[in-house]
Structure 1
Amino acid sequence: MGITERWRGETAAKGTEHSTLLRSSFPAFVCLQGALYAAYGIESPFLPSFLGERGLSSGEIGLVLAAGTLVRLAAGPVAGHIADRYAATRLVLGFAAAAAGVISFGYLAAHSFWTLLAVSMAHSVAIAALAPLADALALTAAERERSFSYGWVRGAGSAAFVIGTLAAGQLVGALGLASIILASGLMFLAMAAATSRVPAAPARREAPIEGLAGVRTLLAQPLFRRLLLVAALVIGSHALNDGFAVILWREAGIGVGTISLLWSESVASEVVVFVLAGPWLLKRFSPAQAALLAALLGILRWVVMATTVAVPVLAVSQLTHGLTFALLHLANMRLIGEMVPDHLSATAQTLYGTLGLGVASAVLTGISGLLYGWLGAGAFWVMAGLCCLALPLAPGLRRKGA
């Protein structure tokens, strides 16, 4: 075969792949995750400022945000259990997204601490399981259709978060803080509409789970408990970075423009790993090996943060974010997909989001403030220590016989 014929054959094959991808549920999941994370990106950076504009003190803002966190931690597993109990993951997701959009607008009518607290708690109930349930549907579809990777969908969500955050800054500058409430509410409603376009989870053969038996079944599995613990240690160790890296860099005299570039670099690496590098790596590495790599690079990253504020060194270390967070998340999604039966997938995702990520991040965020006030940059040594604790646990993240 000549070069021209081979080129034509490769081009035709690529065209077929693209056509298959467009006919799959991938575009619908991109819209779903894009709307979800755009809503998060628009709302989360500016909600505290909005609450302050409504007259809340810093202490009251903290109480509102803390109450919302506690409500999400409780509501997430309940929503997952309902989705599994009635085999209605897509229905629960669509209803919750619509409720999140409608309740968001309640912020615009609230002006006192108690009304804002009530709206925040109701909104937190609605959004508690959005990401885990969306992940459950995407994982099932990716495994069933084989035409796209879950990482591509999740990478689209990360990109949408960045775009949403950038758009929110423009909206606030032009229209004021109330505009972010309107915009995020509309994004949640767009997510509800997109939910109707993604495929529902396939019909299951197993009998429905009664009561909290599904939660007990999952937590009784040593492998699932180990997965939660490794996620809590490695992904949870990012809490100090998320809350205090910018403060540390500004205190060191690093300019706002440079800080924005450093932060954007880490998000860009996350997208690259979700979309490209992660799926490639997980074809060659087991979840246990990926978790071990994430923990090792986590140690390296936090040691760098503890010892230097040199911008060139920070620029290199920020590139590891895609591996310390996104690769481990992808590995955990793969392991959950392999070890958890279909009739417990939504429950497993909400437990992972609540116990593996939510509780760990909430606790470590609170501890991080104390650590940073006491140790300054040295607090990152503690985060490196958490990743060290994950090292002996990571190799056990494999199913028997795997």
Structure 2
Amino acid sequence: MASEGSFWRAVALYAALYGGYGALSPFLPAALAARGLEASQIGTLLAAAMLVRLVVGPPTGRLADRYAAVRGFLAFGLAASGGLTLGLLAGDGLAVLVVLVLIHAATSAALSPLADALVLAGRNGAAYGRIRGAGSAAFIVTTVLTGWLVGRYGDGAGLGACAVLFGMAALVTLRLPAPACPPAAGATGEFRALVAIGAFRRLVLAAALVIGAHAMHDAFAVIAWTGAGIGASAAGLLWAEAVAAEVLVFFWLGPRLLGRIGPARALELAALAGALRWAVQAQTTWLPALIAIQALHGLTFALLHLACLRILTRAVPEGLRATALTVYGSLGLGLASALVTLAAGPLYGGLGLPAFWAMSGLSLLAVPVAHRLWRDIRQDAAGHI
């Protein structure tokens, strides 16, 4: 069991990290617009920042593994990201803002995977669900509070809040125990060693299919709801319900399901829940049905994430964990979401609501992948994951 002090420091790290995201992500576009950027420039810049994160994340994890310096890389990334966020407050002119946003994307690319690697490597790993749930709860609370601050003090308030929270997270990181593993050397530090692990390949593919299927919802759900006469406040409550379900699964339901059915079966359940969720979304905007399926977000995101991390920590050697987590986050989650988002526009534009059937199909494709993973786990002579 983790010591009480170490557990609460891990909770503080996740609360500050995801609270920082909650202060920055929803309000950064408005802050850039207030500094003179046009909508097309903001869209291009944010897309470029996403590309930078996808490219920089895995090499950062690899270096953290190679030098056994997960804690140091995380603390530096948090401090640098907080400082660059403050720089955005003072930045003026297109060229300066572009440079600041892209460097910020690079320094923040691996923050979440490195935090996961740090917590999972220590005695807090058994309490990961509660720790991660605290991060999701902090995201909600900080987003609401930052909205009030922005209304009172202007668009820069979100940037200032993020900088403070990232700085706090950096300080807390330095007070957490460093993973007790030697530096990865030779082939063990190479991506090919990671790719050779079949369980890891399959969990990344399953995650890419299930999480990628969320992309159409993220882009067009509110448009579909408001187009059907659902008010903006009701749409906001539907979105909040999904995040609340995520927190519930992280804190309570997810660890219990993993203990009862195992991570591979939990991955299958997440995929089936996704198939059901998007199939209903493809057919109706009836409010009671939407209320019912938004609760499935707890399974389609939080349970999937818990299951993937449980498998990853057992299947991947500790000296490759940061690399594995950044690859999982960048390719399994980030790249898949970006690619499906690109396809979602034409699909939704051409088909409307029935386009969500394609997302249901994507989720279903993850079921045989997860089932194969379950079979591999059963056949593993070393025991179970």
Map of 1:1-150 to 2, 5 A cutoff? 23-141=4-122, 144=123, 148-150=126-128
Q: Identify the residue that residue 397 of structure 1 maps to in structure 2.
A: 373
Higher-Rg member (1/2): 1
Contact 1:287–1:334 (CA under 8 A) maintained in structure 2: yes
1:147-196 Cα deviation digits (max 9, x unpaired): x5110111001001101110121011101101111111111111101101
Query: Where do 4+ consecutive residues of structure 1 move more than 3 Å?
Result: 210-213
Contact 1:83–1:89 (CA under 8 A) maintained in structure 2: yes
Q: Identify the residue that residue 324 of structure 1 maps to in structure 2.
A: 300
- Secondary structure of 1:149's counterpart equals helix
- Secondary structure of 1:179's counterpart equals helix
- Secondary structure of 1:235's counterpart equals helix
1:249-270 Cα deviation digits (max 9, x unpaired): 1111101221121111111110
Map of 1:210-249 to 2, 5 A cutoff? 210=186, 213-249=189-225
Map of 1:189-228 to 2, 5 A cutoff? 189-204=167-182, 208-210=184-186, 213-228=189-204
* Distance in 2 between residues matched to 1:112 and 1:211, nearest whole Å: 45
Contact 2:189–2:320 (CA under 8 A) maintained in structure 1: no
TM-score normalised by length of structure 2: 0.95
Q: Identify the residue that residue 260 of structure 1 maps to in structure 2.
A: 236
Q: Identify the residue that residue 154 of structure 2 maps to in structure 1.
A: 176
Opposite residue 80 of structure 1, the aligned amino acid is: G
RMSD over aligned Cα atoms:
1.6
* Distance in 1 between residues matched to 2:92 and 2:135, nearest whole Å: 32
Opposite residue 236 of structure 2, the aligned amino acid is: S
Identity between Structure 1 and Structure 2 (%): 49
Shift of 1:21: 6.4
Opposite residue 152 of structure 2, the aligned amino acid is: A
Q: Identify the residue that residue 164 of structure 1 maps to in structure 2.
A: 142
Aligned residues: 378
Shift of 1:239: 1.0
1:266-320 Cα deviation digits (max 9, x unpaired): 1111001001000000001122211111111111100111111111111111111
* Distance in 1 between residues matched to 2:280 and 2:360, nearest whole Å: 10
Q: Identify the residue that residue 384 of structure 1 maps to in structure 2.
A: 360
* Distance in 2 between residues matched to 1:24 and 1:180, nearest whole Å: 30
Contact 1:81–1:212 (CA under 8 A) maintained in structure 2: no
Opposite residue 64 of structure 1, the aligned amino acid is: L
Shift of 1:213: 4.5
1:5-27 Cα deviation digits (max 9, x unpaired): xxxxxxxxxxxxxxx86624110
1:344-399 Cα deviation digits (max 9, x unpaired): 11111111111101111111122222222222212211100101211211112243
Opposite residue 370 of structure 1, the aligned amino acid is: P
* Distance in 1 between residues matched to 2:323 and 2:185, nearest whole Å: 10
- Secondary structure of 2:181's counterpart equals coil
Question: Could you list the runs of 5+ residues in structure 2 that have no partner in the other structure?
Answer: none
Opposite residue 194 of structure 1, the aligned amino acid is: V
Opposite residue 366 of structure 1, the aligned amino acid is: L
Opposite residue 108 of structure 1, the aligned amino acid is: L
* Distance in 1 between residues matched to 2:372 and 2:94, nearest whole Å: 47
* Distance in 1 between residues matched to 2:86 and 2:259, nearest whole Å: 44
Q: Identify the residue that residue 256 of structure 2 maps to in structure 1.
A: 280
Contact 1:269–1:320 (CA under 8 A) maintained in structure 2: yes
350-359 or 101-110, larger mean C-alpha shift: 101-110
Opposite residue 336 of structure 1, the aligned amino acid is: L
* Distance in 2 between residues matched to 1:62 and 1:194, nearest whole Å: 33
* Distance in 2 between residues matched to 1:145 and 1:182, nearest whole Å: 30
1:316-356 Cα deviation digits (max 9, x unpaired): 11111101111010000000010111111111111111110
TM-score normalised by length of structure 1: 0.91
* Distance in 2 between residues matched to 1:56 and 1:366, nearest whole Å: 23
Contact 1:108–1:178 (CA under 8 A) maintained in structure 2: yes
Contact 1:287–1:397 (CA under 8 A) maintained in structure 2: no
Query: Is 1:369–2:345 an aligned residue pair?
Result: yes
Shift of 1:212: 8.5
Contact 1:158–1:270 (CA under 8 A) maintained in structure 2: yes
Query: Is 1:356–2:332 an aligned residue pair?
Result: yes
- Secondary structure of 1:391's counterpart equals helix
Contact 2:187–2:193 (CA under 8 A) maintained in structure 1: no
Q: Identify the residue that residue 166 of structure 2 maps to in structure 1.
A: 188
* Distance in 2 between residues matched to 1:177 and 1:295, nearest whole Å: 39
Shift of 1:220: 2.0
